[in-house]
Structure 1
C-alpha cells in the first residue's frame, strides 16, 4: 500500500485531498497530517489562523470542532480506506486524545523519535507522555477498536545515521508500545543512500521484530528518502521508484511517498496522487521481475542486536531503559543537537553510498565498527554526504541538459 504525507488546514480541502487519494489508481492509505502550530502545542495560534482564513501546512485536529472533522471523514474513511494521523509532535497527548475521540486510532510517533529531532523537551517527559498515549490507544479495544501505532524510530536523521541505530531505535520503540498495551504496530525504516545496505537493514529489522515481538501484529513501513531531495522532476521520480523497489524487495507492507515538489514547496493534491500512482506502478513492475537477491551480511543485524540488548539490560521498564541509554551514550544519534543526546557519535556516506560510523562515542559496539578512513572528515565532505542522493539522481538530467545547451551554442564549437 502507498501513503502520502498530506495535510491541509481547511476541512473541505482536507476532505477533497483524502477523496483524491482514495480514488487514486493504487492501493492507498489516507493521511491527516497535522500542522506546525499544533505540533508544537500552539493550539491557540492554530485556532486564530483558522478564524483568519490563513493557509496552514496541515490539519489542526484539536482546533477544529469534532463535528467538522466527523463531516470531513464521512463517506471517506471506511474499511477499505484507513486514515492515519501523522503529526511529528513532541507534545502528542492533545493530538492523540482528539483523534481517539473521533475514532481515529491509527497514528505514529515514539518517545525518542518524536522528541529528539523535533524539540528540546526532556526525554523523560516524552517517555511519560508516550506511555500515556499508548494506554489511551490500548483502552479503545474495549470499545471494539483496533488501535495501531507506528514507530518513527527508523527515520530519525536517517541520512547520516548508520542503519543499525535506526533499526535498534525502531525495534526498541515498538517494544515500548507493546509493553504499554499495543498489539498492532508498524516498524519504520527510511530509505538511505545504498540499496544494498537498506535491504540488509530492513532484513535485520524484520529479524529482530520476529524475535522480540512474538505476539504482535506488526508490519514494516518504508519511507521514501527523507534527506535533501532531487530538484529535477526526473530525478525525484527516479528516487521515488527506487524506494518502491526497496519496499518490494524487503517485503514491506506500506510505502510513505514523496513527490517531485519536495525540494521546492509543499506539494499539491495532484502531485501527491501522481507520486502514489508512480510508486504503485514501480512496485508492480518490480514484483513482476521476480524475487530479489538475498542481501549481503555486512554486520547491520549484529550491530543492531548489540544496541538493543545493551538498552534492555538497563531496566525492565523500556522507557526508563531508553532514558538511561541516552544518558550513558549507549544510544547516540549523529548530529542531533537535543540536550539529552550525547552528540559524540558521527556518521558519513562513502563513495558507494554506504553509511558508516566515523566515531562511535560511547556506543556499545566493537571498535571495528568504526571506519578508519573517516579520521579527518571535513565540512565539505559532510555537506557532500547530505546532498549525495540529490546529486546522484539529478546528475543524469543536469548533465544531459548541459550537453544540449553546449551543442546548441555556436560559440561552443569555436573554443
Structure 2
C-alpha cells in the first residue's frame, strides 16, 4: 500500500482486516455489523464524544485517570472505585506492555500467572486476550464513558476487539505511539497501521456510531517544545479526519511554565482547525486534553500533590476539555486505587474552584501564543512542502530531514539533534535547533531567553542545563538551578530587578 493521506482503498482495508483478525483467537469474535447494533444501544451518557461536546459547550474541564490490571474482575473493581470514590468523569482501560508489542502469548501467560498468585502481574489490561465479551462487561458495568489507552505502534487488532467491545474512545497515533515508544519501527509503517485504525473508526461513523480519537500529546515528556507537539498533533489529526474520524481530541503535555502552558492550550485548537480547513476538512468536532506532569515526580506525597494541583490549575485556566490525572505515587510505581482516586479528587477540587476564572490576555501571554503559532506554522508548512501537499508523505520526509525532531526519543527514525532547556521563568526554549525550519527572528528569541538564564546563573548555556532541568522537579524545583553561592547571589539580584515579569526585547511582531 502506497503511503498517502487519502482514505484507504476498501479492498486494501478488507485484505488487511482478514490478516489482522487472524492474529489471535479472539479476533474471530469480532462481528462489525453486530458491533454497530451494540453501540447504538449504549446510553448517550456513556458515549465519549457526546460527553466531550457537552463539556466543551458548557466550558467544563473533565478529569480522567490512567488505570488497568490483568484480570477482568480486578479491573472492574478498580474502575468502579475510581468512578465512585475518585469521581472520575471518564474512565480508562490502560493496556499492558505485552499487548502493546503484539505479544499475545506472553500476555496470556501474564493472565495465568496473575490468577495463580492472586494479584496483577501485568501493568495493564490485556484486552486482546480477554476478547470482545470481557470488554463489553467493562463498558456495561461503568456509568461513565471508557477509553482505551495504551502505547501501541501496531494497534489494529486491539482496535478491532475493543471497539467491537463497546469502547467509545481510542487513544494513539502513528507518530505519537511510535517515536516515543519504539526504536526500530518506521514512521511510514505506523502511519499506515494507524490509518487502518482511523478507517475502522470512520466505518463506525458512517454507520452512525461515534468513536472519539485522541492522539497522544505529550510525546517524550516535559521538555518537548509546544510547537513540536502541536505539529505532531495536527498531523495526526489530519490523518485521522482523512480516514473518516469525526470526534477528535488533540493533546498537550504540561511543560511547567503557566503562561506557556496556557498559551499552548489556547493555540492548539486554533492551529489544528486552521490546517484541517486549509486541507479541505470541515466535518469534525475538536476538543482538547491536557496531560498533567509527565516527568519525574517527588517521592514525598505532599510534594506530589503539589505537582498534581499545579497541573490541574493549568488545565482549568487553559480551558482544556479534559485533563489526564496523575497520582501521588508516580515516583513509586503503579499506584494503589486509593492513591489514584485521591489524585482525581485533588484535581477536581482545583477544577471546580477555577472553573469560572481565566488568565487575562497580557502582553506576555499574547507573545507566547504568537510564538507558538509562528513556530508551529513554520514546521507544518515545511511538512506540506516536503510532501508536495500530502501530509502523510510530508511527515515521513520531515522526520528524515529533522524538520520534526522529538527530543529524547528512542526511535532511530528521529533525528535527535534538537536540545531544549528552560529559560529563567521555566518556559521551554531551544538550546540547539537542529534542523527545525525556524527563521532568524524565532531563533533570536530562544537564544536571548536561554542566554539570560545563563547570565543569571553565572554559567554558559550548555547540556548541563538540560540535565539539571530533567531532575529539578524531583528536587522540588522546575528550573534546574546550580547550587553554588555565586549562582544564588546572581539569582537574588535577578529577582530584585523584576526581570521575571518583563518582556523580551526580541518581541516577534
Equivalent position SS for 2:222:
helix
1:387 aligns with 2:471: yes
The alpha carbon displacement at 1:68 in A equals 2.8
Q: What residue in structure 2 maps to residue 256 of structure 1?
A: 324
Q: Distance in 2 between matches of 1:73 and 1:124?
A: 33
Which of residues 102, 116, 131 is equivalent to 2:165?
102
Q: Which moved more, 1:203-212 or 1:82-91?
A: 203-212
Q: Distance in 2 between matches of 1:393 and 1:16?
A: 36
Where structure 2 has 5 or more consecutive residues not aligned to the other structure, the ranges are 1-61, 115-119, 277-281, 455-459, 480-509
Q: Deviations over 1:40-63 (max 9, x none)?
A: 111110001112226111000001
1:133 aligns with 2:197: yes
Cα 1:291–1:380 change in 2 (3 A) is closer
1:335 aligns with 2:408: yes
Q: What residue in structure 2 maps to residue 296 of structure 1?
A: 366
Q: How does 1:362-377 map to 2 (within 5 A)?
A: 362-370=435-443, 371-372=446-447, 373=450, 377=461
Q: Distance in 1 between matches of 2:127 and 2:461?
A: 44
Which of residues 114, 130, 138 is equivalent to 1:64?
130
The alpha carbon displacement at 1:27 in A equals 5.1
Q: What residue in structure 1 maps to residue 43 of structure 2?
A: none
CA contact 1:314–1:321 (8 Å) conserved in 2 = yes
Equivalent position SS for 1:158:
coil
The alpha carbon displacement at 1:161 in A equals 1.8
CA contact 1:311–1:322 (8 Å) conserved in 2 = yes
Equivalent position SS for 1:296:
helix
State the TM-score, normalizing by the size of structure 1: 0.89
Cα 1:25–1:231 change in 2 (3 A) is closer
Where structure 1 has 5 or more consecutive residues not aligned to the other structure, the ranges are 396-415
1:149 aligns with 2:213: yes
CA contact 2:69–2:123 (8 Å) conserved in 1 = yes
Q: What residue in structure 1 maps to residue 495 of structure 2?
A: none
Q: How does 1:5-24 map to 2 (within 5 A)?
A: 5-24=66-85
Which of residues 415, 425, 429 is equivalent to 1:356?
429
CA contact 2:86–2:342 (8 Å) conserved in 1 = no
Q: Distance in 1 between matches of 2:88 and 2:112?
A: 35
Equivalent position SS for 2:136:
helix
CA contact 2:68–2:92 (8 Å) conserved in 1 = yes
1:239 aligns with 2:284: no
Q: What residue in structure 2 maps to residue 230 of structure 1?
A: 298
The alpha carbon displacement at 1:110 in A equals 1.0
The alpha carbon displacement at 1:266 in A equals 0.4
Q: What residue in structure 2 maps to residue 40 of structure 1?
A: 101
Report the count of equivalent residues: 390
Cα 1:293–1:36 change in 2 (3 A) is same
Equivalent position SS for 1:297:
helix
Equivalent position SS for 2:476:
helix
CA contact 1:134–1:180 (8 Å) conserved in 2 = yes
Q: What residue in structure 2 maps to residue 405 of structure 1?
A: none
Q: Distance in 2 between matches of 1:254 and 1:150?
A: 11
Which of residues 92, 96, 99 is equivalent to 1:31?
92
Equivalent position SS for 2:366:
coil
Q: What residue in structure 2 maps to residue 285 of structure 1?
A: 353
Cα 1:159–1:72 change in 2 (3 A) is closer
Q: Distance in 1 between matches of 2:288 and 2:478?
A: 29
CA contact 1:238–1:393 (8 Å) conserved in 2 = no
Q: Distance in 2 between matches of 1:68 and 1:177?
A: 27
Q: Deviations over 1:224-260 (max 9, x none)?
A: 0101112211111111111111111111110101000
The alpha carbon displacement at 1:308 in A equals 1.4
The alpha carbon displacement at 1:25 in A equals 5.6
Q: What residue in structure 1 maps to residue 64 of structure 2?
A: 3
CA contact 1:14–1:59 (8 Å) conserved in 2 = yes
Q: What residue in structure 2 maps to residue 88 of structure 1?
A: 151
CA contact 1:167–1:205 (8 Å) conserved in 2 = yes
Q: What residue in structure 2 maps to residue 265 of structure 1?
A: 333
Which of residues 186, 207, 211 is equivalent to 2:249?
186
CA contact 1:344–1:361 (8 Å) conserved in 2 = yes
The alpha carbon displacement at 1:284 in A equals 1.0
The alpha carbon displacement at 1:379 in A equals 4.8
Q: Distance in 2 between matches of 1:282 and 1:393?
A: 21
CA contact 1:190–1:224 (8 Å) conserved in 2 = yes
The alpha carbon displacement at 1:377 in A equals 4.8
Cα 1:273–1:393 change in 2 (3 A) is farther
Q: Distance in 1 between matches of 2:442 and 2:358?
A: 31
Q: Which moved more, 1:91-100 or 1:112-121?
A: 91-100
Which of residues 203, 212, 215 is equivalent to 2:283?
215
CA contact 2:182–2:410 (8 Å) conserved in 1 = no
CA-based RMSD of the aligned residues comes to 2.0
